Amino acid sequence: MTTTSTLWGGDSGRQVTCIACGETLDREDAREYDKHGDRWDREGKRFEYLCKSCHRECCQQSRDGLEEMLVAADAGRTDRGTFLRRFCESTTDNESLD
Ligand SMILES: [Zn+2]
């Protein structure tokens, strides 16, 4: 019986950080977020991760603007602290528009 974790090369037990709230969680509990959208091209790619609650929020709200927001925040091209700060600032800006 092959399990999912062996299939993906022993990723189980690894910890990842949610890009939205910065929470550390088990890789198995995280939801992959691929900002490029082509999740089948895994070669040399670094996935972003969302925890369940942030993933749910992202799915409930329109994804319009989320891609731009991630790109604007330099997702994957800046250090995580800077990215998270920019991402949070973008989120806060959006909320203040209501
Ligand atoms: Zn989160």
Q: How far apart are CA 9 and CA 7, in angstroms?
A: 6
Domain ranges of the chain: 10-96
What is the model's pTM?
0.41
Cα 39–Cα 72–Cα 17 angle in degrees, nearest 5: 55
Residue 29 to residues 43, 65, 81: CA-CA distances in angstroms? Answer: 22, 26, 22
Q: What is the mean pLDDT of residues 35-45?
A: 61
Distance 1 CA to ligand 1 centre (A): 32
- Band (pLDDT 50/70/90 cuts) for residue 54 is confident
Is the pLDDT at 69 greater than 50, yes or no? Answer: yes
Distance 51 CA to ligand 1 centre (A): 4
Distance 88 CA to ligand 1 centre (A): 11
